[in-house]
Structure 1
Amino acid sequence: MRVDALVSEGERVEQGQPVLRSRRHPQMVLVAPVGGDVAALDIGPGRRLSSIVFFHDGKAGRHVHEAARSADDGGTIRAALLAGGLWTMFRSRPFGRIAAPQEMPAAIFVMAADSRPGAPSPAIAINGREEAFARGLAALLQLTNGPVYLCHDKAYAATGATPRDDRLRPALVGPAHPHGLAGFQMALRHPALPNAPVWDVHAEDVAGIGAFLVEGLVPQTRLVSVAGPALREARLVRCQPGADLRGLCYDILKPGPHRLLVGCGQEARWLGPWHRQVTALAGRSEAPRRNWFSKALKGASRPMPIIPTAALDHAFGGILPAAPLARAIAANDAETAVQLGALSLLEEDLALADFVTAASPRLSRMLRAMIDQIAREEAA
């Protein structure tokens, strides 16, 4: 993201105060996840954001967005979410980017289910916040003329506060992975297209939107699971977006080298904007020693084949044609892949397929290259 800084290093900020503004969309801002001092601000070439670090101080207070309290229609709600930094919660498909401020989605998927092993239950995340969640759903109905799908598992219980609207469509999700992923629910119910984008948003973020429109305060924390074989114990924690993964695992890591992964298996140091899962694995990833002979062998080798199996069908949830779609992605046949539903998927949706196929290069990586190519062609 190309940004302009609204604060400088050493400046004191409140939690929820705007600190960065998008250069492409000036109405979109990023806010401070915690109150305190700006410890470091690194903006690279082309005004691309590299990192911003805060020293937390509980006495810094919270920033109040007064305009959010009076937002009562689609236009004012959209403006309030953009000004409050909550717009980044919406992920638009195809392409998996933050939704553009002027974008009108064909549908919105609220994910109150998550089938990934070890992921925190959204039902637990919104427990006790039913009224805020209902207000958030009502706000989403103002942002689209299409349906809002509430994808939930059996742990979710609807309340009387849930909006009564024909466009709000509950969708029961099965317990088997990957049925609880947004990409497969979209492919099943409302596929994404370049001229008809579809958004997905987590149920906890919807509850945060509902509270924000009443209090004017940006949510402080999210529910995150911390698990893995390198830990002495697994736990659920509430922490700020952008939290240091080492701090989340402090005092519960087993002795020895380890790796910290977020989301669908990416090695990282910080909790990303859409991440709700941290996994600690034993061992350390070391770069292989390189020499001319190994480089020649790797350059001459062929990609590992993708063999259609029942496990591959399971990895696509029985929703999409596994073998034809995997073949189209591997062959970079964008036209066939689009016809088979690839535009509803992102890398996280193919993490299970990567595991069962052990393909090299990974299917998820080839999918990202394909949808990036399609995005460039659409923008041309």
Structure 2
Amino acid sequence: MSEVKKIKKGLDIKLIGKADKVLEKADRSETFAIKPTDFPGLTPKLKVKVDAEVKAGSALFFDKYRPEINFTSPVSGKVVAVNRGERRKILEVIIQADNELQYEEFKQANPADLSRDEVKEQLLQSGLWAFLRQRPYDVIANPADAPKAIHISAFDSAPLAADFDYLVEGEAEAFQMGLDALTKLTDGKVHLNINAQKTQSKVFTEAKNVVINKFAGVHPAGNVGVQIHKLDPINKGDIVWVIRPQEILFIGRLFQKGIYDVSRKIALTGSEVKNPSYYNTILGASVRNILKAQLKDDDKIRVISGNVLTGTQIPEDGFLGFYDSQITVIPEGDNYEFLGWALPGLQKFSMSKTFFSWLTPNKEYRLDANLHGEHRAFVMTGEYDKVLPMDVLPQQLIKSIMVEDIDQMEQLGIYEVAPEDLALCEFVCTSKINVQDLVRQGIDLMIKEMS
């Protein structure tokens, strides 16, 4: 029996609004968007203009520095807008969907019968390559590299996260075909990391051609970066690729059906949702129809594509992020609370036992986005070390990033971390430091220095 790796350092944030395993219906979105901002380090070059007709799988833009990597339309229809930001930075490519989807045709084949180059070419042309991400740096994988391993986290331990067992239900064949494609991309092992207590789906537990590893414990036990660190830490020069289970389904469908089918289940979660549940949708969909009639009567809410720790705030008619499998809705928390620090705080969550809520450890909370304080001097408190289960000195690493000390960043573990791995450090930070932004800045600096 394989050893269970127990994650003891971390923090489970219990929030109100976990999705019931009920598949609700919502009108299909009329518009879809692919956002270059979802891909750190990408410099996009457009392949289409406004009013262009596209099919599902048609290229919308590509990576300027790696032009073989395409980013394709999730639906067929017309390109109705290319929204830009400062210095004409491309923010969104928006497609008005057809009533009936038309697909670009790709090769149907069993990946086991194909060469590595043939599998790679299929993924690059279809746009599915963008789902393969590289550690270190947490960027899209370089097709020219040969990773020492590929890791898949089959569970998510973030607050209100979607149940991956439910997301892949009934798609064992597509999942296995996707795994078979991944095995062609590395001479090393493909690791499938499951939750020792909670993972029940045979799609995961009976998967073939992979090494199944078992994990247990508190968040961030489900973070693939933490799992890699516990199994085979990344050193300078090492390359590991990561991908999520639903994205493996997309790869499996590509080889099964020869089309770019990125339909998926997502979880609608959060305290401001009337009936938290699951929905069928398509990658990049507008969330408007899903949120319609589901929000409680409060105009001061925050809609997040993703989870509360690492997700991105979007408007109520915004678009689902490329890598996100949940939408979270919480109170905005833009109100001023008089003497809030002096109250017992029975409805407030605190890791440090600042409030008496620690007496009810299993309580679920209606938390908001209020910082409950201003930005302060960066002080050493030891709180980061309590929530980061990696052999990394987080505060020293963050300070080395602040002063742009490349040598110190290397020695302190910049190759092992991604912003999501230090999300809890940001949550517990006494100084209100934007830790994840700093980690991304440090990674970007390392990429620039190494190029």
Note whether the superposition's TM-score is higher than 0.5.
yes
Question: 1 CA distance for matches of 2:334 and 2:311?
Answer: 13
Structure 1 unaligned residues grouped into runs of 5+: 287-300
2:248 is the counterpart of 1:206: yes
Aligned to 1:330: 399
The letter for the 2-side match of 1:89 is F
Match for residue 320 of structure 1 among 381, 386, 391: 391
Q: How does 1:22-41 map to 2 (within 5 A)?
A: 22-41=63-82
Q: Could you say which structure has the greater relative contact order, defined with CA pairs below 8 angstroms and 6 or more residues apart?
A: 2
Q: CA deviation at 1:24?
A: 1.9
Task: Verify the 8 A CA contact 1:259 1:285 in the aligned structure 2.
Answer: no
Percent of residue pairs bearing the same amino acid type: 25
Aligned to 2:342: none
My pick for the range that moved more, 19-28 or 91-100, is: 19-28
Change (3 A) 1:358 1:228: farther
Question: 2 CA distance for matches of 1:89 and 1:316?
Answer: 26
**Structure 2-normalised TM-score?**
0.72
The letter for the 1-side match of 2:230 is L
Aligned to 1:260: 303
Q: CA deviation at 1:189?
A: 1.5
Per the alignment, in what secondary structure is the counterpart of residue 216 of structure 2? coil
Change (3 A) 1:285 1:142: farther
The letter for the 2-side match of 1:320 is D
Q: CA deviation at 1:212?
A: 0.9
Task: Verify the 8 A CA contact 1:304 1:359 in the aligned structure 2.
Answer: yes
Aligned to 2:54: 13
Aligned to 2:96: 55
Count residues with an aligned counterpart. 357
Per the alignment, in what secondary structure is the counterpart of residue 205 of structure 1? helix
Aligned to 1:361: 433
Can you list the C-alpha shifts for 1:40-92, whole angstroms capped at 9, x where unaligned? Answer: 12467888532111112122422221376787111100000000000000111
Q: CA deviation at 1:266?
A: 2.6
Question: 2 CA distance for matches of 1:102 and 1:242?
Answer: 28
Change (3 A) 1:362 1:3: closer
Change (3 A) 1:257 1:170: same
2:208 is the counterpart of 1:163: yes
Task: Verify the 8 A CA contact 2:426 2:433 in the aligned structure 1.
Answer: no
Aligned to 2:27: none
Change (3 A) 1:306 1:334: farther
Question: 2 CA distance for matches of 1:307 and 1:161?
Answer: 44
Task: Verify the 8 A CA contact 1:67 1:80 in the aligned structure 2.
Answer: no
Question: 2 CA distance for matches of 1:22 and 1:366?
Answer: 24
Question: 2 CA distance for matches of 1:14 and 1:370?
Answer: 38
Change (3 A) 1:216 1:236: same
If each structure's helix is expressed as a fraction of its own residues, which one has the higher value?
1
Q: CA deviation at 1:125?
A: 1.3
Give the aligned CA root-mean-square deviation in angstroms: 2.6
Task: Verify the 8 A CA contact 1:330 1:363 in the aligned structure 2.
Answer: no
Structure 2 unaligned residues grouped into runs of 5+: 1-41, 336-374
Q: CA deviation at 1:198?
A: 1.2
**Structure 1-normalised TM-score?**
0.85
2:413 is the counterpart of 1:341: yes
Change (3 A) 1:270 1:330: farther
Task: Verify the 8 A CA contact 1:113 1:152 in the aligned structure 2.
Answer: yes
Question: 2 CA distance for matches of 1:26 and 1:331?
Answer: 34
